[in-house]
Structure 1
């Protein structure tokens, strides 16, 4: 066949993907076909990759010599990557001579210097193919230049999924300049989806970018617009938080002017606002600009004026504002205003110049104001005002225009005084971290029925104002970190609902009656000097020094009291009558070394803080740094002291077992008494006392290596010898003690049958004295002619009488002999040691302490 005809037939088969024709041509014209297939101009492999004929590619790989042959569209692999044929890419990877070059950098016009599989896959959006390429050349993920060029290729076609994949896979540190270059490409290509991704990676929306591409930015923002239907009046929410916006464009708001509007622009990079925001948005109800870089807020244009008459919530916190225009307080609908965490030094109508004039210029006393209040502030609807974390030294009189104010926070400023109270339903007031040394009167006249929370901490107050004490609805009062030396007179207080009182870090001093009556007290004469602590702590004229709480008023309400970091040597007695106290903090009163036993009167106390104290009447394991540092344990210890309780080293030792097993004889031998001369059956129960000596001799017998300070006391046992006859076993159950120690006896001569007879005794003990310990004792050892069977008895007991099988805890098995004829006592001393060891380790649970303690040594009433 002519080469021209054969060439045409091959080309048709390749382009149409006709596998049968291709197979026939390769079979019938093998010798003639091979040179045609390898002719570079024919590019059969390129055509097969272009049209996606996988089977043709598989056939051609066996005939094509140069798998990397170039073409105007690139090598076969590049073509397959461009068109997204993953299966063909996998086929090409089977050729060992396949070349896969790393991507090269792209120029400023995003034109590729060389056709590259990486670029083609990225530009066409084939994430799966790109992943396969990275598997072949993983080093590409570690090279900035490679990843930049791939990102540029994907960005130029708007493939945000490919870009997200690349960012997830690479560990390269991509520069801000690259991000901004990608932003320009995305905006130029009108790809809002890519722009959103870039913003999430830290790209900035600059003012210059908005001038050139504000439409695509507006389109990106429009996807974060939602309807709010839960409120009384449905509104639109423009949630544009964290978009790295450095500026705004008027187009952002033009289409949203038909219904109530809420705008959130938190955590952006705004340094200034359009004048239309907020002044020119009549349907704006809420604006949140928290966390930007605003330095100033421009007033509205005179020609436009204020038309945002629906604005109710405005948040300008966490910016860099040094001042705000007075027009901000001309928005009559404003209900919530947050100016916290800025650099404000004054509020309008004050100015820097006015700050230097007299205080009387700024504050309203009992006389008339030097300002016409309504002419400057028109915020009569304002309910919540937060001015905290600024640099304010004064507050203007115009604050009193806010007749509906409920929450005011001016903490962390530099205020030296606070305006006189005014009529408003104030619920919470935070004046902490200022420079207040006194408060004006009249608080109770204005706020006694409304004020619930008052924070005056971290100021320089030396007294508690009487009008503060008369706030009857107050439930939280924080006066920590001031210069208080005591409490106001008891009769001043009317705060019958007070639940939380914080007086920590003051100079409150209480020595107590015991100190003043000490006959050996040494008096010192101290001369005042600047470095003299006594001089510095001396009370100022008029300072309150009493430490008496209004018990009748607070005993049923106060639940938390903090007196930490003061100068208390003892706890003021009136505290013991505050019976509702749940938490008491007396930490770091370094002169306090004793906890009074009257603390036990506080029945509801759950938390007692004693950090930094060294208490002489508490064990070290109950003080700070110990695992057992628990309020319940401390109070339980104080209760023991209150009752004058003493350690008790006694318990029951009960001997049980069948008739004739030698219980009475063993009891006598343990107590050092001679065995009875005649065997007389016990009737009911016989009791006797026995002291088992401890001390160093017992420590040596136990081979105990613990600290020498650990106690090995004598233990006083009350030995109960139970009758073994069947007619008495029913009554035994009444006397079984929960935490007793049981010696269960059987006759060794009965062998396995004797072991079986133990089951009923053990089950009775488990049923009626679950926590008890049992020692099994085999008697009549001297009567055994062959002792080899004892080992089998040990094994039988270990295997059968386990706690998993429902039996009580068995601590050992001993064999003893109490022979009357020869006086031979065998195994008795070993049994005594085991009895001592077992008794010393028995623990009982104390509900009041939520913990366990050893039975031996527990405290009981003297």
Structure 2
């Protein structure tokens, strides 16, 4: 019988999965041939055909089984050897392999595999020796058989068939072996009927239906999931597993010693629904409830409003379009709730009930479909969210942030509204905001009065990838500012540096803007950065003038200037002695690197990608930042290549020191030298040292073989 599984609460959705849910007997091909009670197996009681060769039960196979039943393993092994010597058919040998596997005879199995050269078939069926071994729980036989295959993990269908059989029979050690050692899939159905998976051969379903609790728990903790058929066909077993193995206990704060707090962790189980019966009798003890990464489209009314001691709630990564509705604030008794995560759902707005949670500190609602924060028509007489510290509504469809709600967030520290459709950022309000992320919106301007409430609080600011053409001065007067990201905007210039006060700034990202662009359509020849001197420019080179305060030389560590329209590297950048990363790439106008960059001793990352640098050789640039900086330092001190080597010649008198010096200097042998005491010079080129990055060119030395001179003569260089 093929039936269709529909998601609960969504009858109009298309079918998710088709299952063949016939009787257990129809799903299992040869189950009746196996008798696990007495350890016997009737292999070959029926005629089986492989190709065109028919194998019929013979007196030999009957004798082998009789010997095993009588406990005479030696006789059975002798009969197996005799049978292998008399037949060359793999089919008959495979039948013998199945009999030996059924009775757990490891020695006979090894003989058949290694000496009789029997090849284990990889076709999944109940007659396969590996399946038989899994059925009877012979772990060593299973391992021996699978190890005989070349790449057993590639025989996935056979492994899944064995796994389903082992789960049904309750052989936990074999289940662990198949999943951990051979990568059997605990979520794959082993048998299909007319292209539909047979439910009884789904490992978790088989384990729960057979009452094998330990196997079911292991499967759930190693990649298996619940499905609606499991919950419907085994409701009590499902509830028992969830309550016993996925709930942790601890003392309930502020209660009698007899009371215990419950941390319910039902995440990543693909639950299609949560039954009220699972929670109703323990609702007053639940302090943490994690239902993330399931398939929930609705929730029972008790979640979360009726959980009086709930502190932490996670509903992330489900398919929720709304939370249970409430008629009045009197229905909300979860006032101790501190953290809520409803991210990665399908919410169109936040539940108005959240506005009554006066102790809530963290609210994560990213990756939803929200076009507005709350339904203002249903938000009356609320006093909650005064203690909210972290608010994340990134990756939504918000077009505005109503101040009627934001201005009540008096304790907010972290605000993340990135990846929305905001065109206006709200004016600052009284809260100790430390982190503000509003990247990838449509902001065209920012409020001026950023310092009124956030001057001594705001540390991290991200307004990247918006449509900003200018930024207010107040942004650079944030005294606690550590990181500022303005990349991907349309900035041509920045506010005057005279009134900046961000002395703790460590990371500044100005990449992918239009810095250096002239209003007249041409670029400036040189743009001074980080300078305190007032300069006046006129004539055709006048253009946008960018200045940065000198105090950044003590604090700034990372500077992004890449992907702009700069014509040169500002000389004042060379004064940033604390700089560790500098990005200059993709500024087509930059053609030279100032030698003063070599003074930046802490610089380890220098990005000059897509730059046509003329004053640094290409082979030097390829060696990386250290080599480039070393080259610039050499230029800075006006160093020149030196091909001379200082040498001292030491030795007793009249041993040829002067003669050696004359030969080395002139390259000629004196006429007065004896024929048996000659000196000649030879030039050679040293190979590149191993592990040395810099290329060695013309690294030559002079060699002077000395004949008939005192051994005391030595060369020191």
Q: TM-score, with normalisation over the residues of structure 2?
A: 0.71
2:636 alignment partner, one of 610, 631, 642: 642
SS at structure 2 position matched to 1:509: coil
Post-superposition shift, 1:401? 1.1
2:68 alignment partner, one of 49, 64, 70: 49
Give the structure 2 partner of residue 454 of structure 1: 461
2:247 alignment partner, one of 225, 234, 246: 225
Aligned equivalents of 1:578 and 1:100: distance in 2?
A: 70
Q: What is the 5 A alignment of 1:640-719?
A: 640-672=634-666
1:550 equivalent in alignment to 2:549: yes
Contact kept in structure 1, 2:398 and 2:420, CA below 8 Å: yes
Give the structure 2 partner of residue 439 of structure 1: 446
Give the structure 1 partner of residue 213 of structure 2: 192
Q: What is the 5 A alignment of 1:177-576?
A: 177-178=197-198, 181-182=201-202, 183-196=204-217, 198-199=219-220, 204-221=225-242, 222-227=244-249, 236-254=262-280, 256-257=282-283, 259=285, 261-300=287-326, 305-350=331-376, 375-376=381-382, 378-397=384-403, 398-509=405-516, 545-551=544-550, 553-576=551-574
Give the structure 2 partner of residue 534 of structure 1: none
Closer/same/farther in 2, CA of residues 332 and 641 from structure 1, 3 Å limit = same
Give the structure 2 partner of residue 358 of structure 1: none
Closer/same/farther in 2, CA of residues 651 and 284 from structure 1, 3 Å limit = same
Q: What is the 5 A alignment of 1:15-30?
A: none
Post-superposition shift, 1:383? 0.7
Contact kept in structure 2, 1:433 and 1:459, CA below 8 Å: yes
Give the structure 1 partner of residue 708 of structure 2: 747
Give the structure 1 partner of residue 587 of structure 2: 589
SS at structure 2 position matched to 1:408: strand
Post-superposition shift, 1:441? 2.8
Post-superposition shift, 1:412? 1.0
Give the structure 2 partner of residue 162 of structure 1: 174
1:629 alignment partner, one of 600, 624, 627: 624
Q: What is the 5 A alignment of 1:49-128?
A: 49-54=68-73, 57=76, 84=104, 86=106, 120-128=132-140
Closer/same/farther in 2, CA of residues 512 and 639 from structure 1, 3 Å limit = farther
Aligned equivalents of 1:468 and 1:656: distance in 2?
A: 71
Contact kept in structure 1, 2:425 and 2:446, CA below 8 Å: yes
Q: Deviations over 1:173-228 (max 9, x none)?
A: 85682567424333322233343455567654233432332322233333233356
Q: Deviations over 1:823-846 (max 9, x none)?
A: xxxxxxxxxxxxxxxxxxxxxxxx
Aligned equivalents of 2:648 and 2:117: distance in 1?
A: 92
Per mean C-alpha deviation after superposition, the further-off stretch among 136-145 and 330-339 is 136-145
Give unmatched runs, 5+ long, in structure 1. Answer: 1-14, 16-38, 69-74, 107-113, 352-370, 525-537, 540-544, 680-691, 693-697, 716-739, 749-753, 766-771, 773-862
Give the structure 1 partner of residue 10 of structure 2: none
Post-superposition shift, 1:435? 0.7
Q: Deviations over 1:492-541 (max 9, x none)?
A: 3121211111111111117567799xxxx9979xxxxxxxxxxxxx99xx
Give the structure 2 partner of residue 787 of structure 1: none
SS at structure 1 position matched to 2:174: helix
Closer/same/farther in 2, CA of residues 232 and 448 from structure 1, 3 Å limit = farther
Contact kept in structure 1, 2:354 and 2:384, CA below 8 Å: no
SS at structure 2 position matched to 1:651: coil
Contact kept in structure 1, 2:516 and 2:524, CA below 8 Å: no
Per mean C-alpha deviation after superposition, the further-off stretch among 214-223 and 301-310 is 301-310
Give unmatched runs, 5+ long, in structure 2. Answer: 1-37, 39-57, 88-94, 191-195, 518-522, 529-537, 675-680, 689-695
Contact kept in structure 2, 1:280 and 1:308, CA below 8 Å: yes
Q: Deviations over 1:89-135 (max 9, x none)?
A: 779999989999999857xxxxxxx8x86555333322223445667
Give the structure 2 partner of residue 528 of structure 1: none
Contact kept in structure 1, 2:463 and 2:485, CA below 8 Å: yes
Give the structure 1 partner of residue 609 of structure 2: 611
Aligned equivalents of 2:501 and 2:343: distance in 1?
A: 37
Q: What is the 5 A alignment of 1:170-181?
A: 177-178=197-198, 181=201
Q: Deviations over 1:26-73 (max 9, x none)?
A: xxxxxxxxxxxxx989x88655423534356568889999999xxxxx
Contact kept in structure 2, 1:180 and 1:204, CA below 8 Å: no
Contact kept in structure 2, 1:52 and 1:85, CA below 8 Å: no
Contact kept in structure 1, 2:526 and 2:567, CA below 8 Å: no
Q: Deviations over 1:149-185 (max 9, x none)?
A: 5444333322243345456558898568256742433
Q: How many residues align?
A: 611
Closer/same/farther in 2, CA of residues 301 and 64 from structure 1, 3 Å limit = farther
Aligned equivalents of 1:590 and 1:98: distance in 2?
A: 70
Contact kept in structure 2, 1:469 and 1:494, CA below 8 Å: yes
Aligned equivalents of 1:156 and 1:171: distance in 2?
A: 15
Larger Rg: 1
Post-superposition shift, 1:741? 7.4
Q: Deviations over 1:372-401 (max 9, x none)?
A: x98346111111111111111111220221
SS at structure 2 position matched to 1:287: strand
Closer/same/farther in 2, CA of residues 153 and 442 from structure 1, 3 Å limit = same
Post-superposition shift, 1:249? 2.2
Q: TM-score, with normalisation over the residues of structure 1?
A: 0.60
SS at structure 2 position matched to 1:655: strand
SS at structure 1 position matched to 2:313: strand
Aligned equivalents of 1:101 and 1:124: distance in 2?
A: 19
Post-superposition shift, 1:607? 3.3
RMSD: 4.9
Aligned equivalents of 2:445 and 2:344: distance in 1?
A: 30
Aligned equivalents of 1:328 and 1:377: distance in 2?
A: 10
Q: Deviations over 1:4-43 (max 9, x none)?
A: xxxxxxxxxxx9xxxxxxxxxxxxxxxxxxxxxxx989x8
SS at structure 2 position matched to 1:238: strand
Contact kept in structure 2, 1:103 and 1:150, CA below 8 Å: no
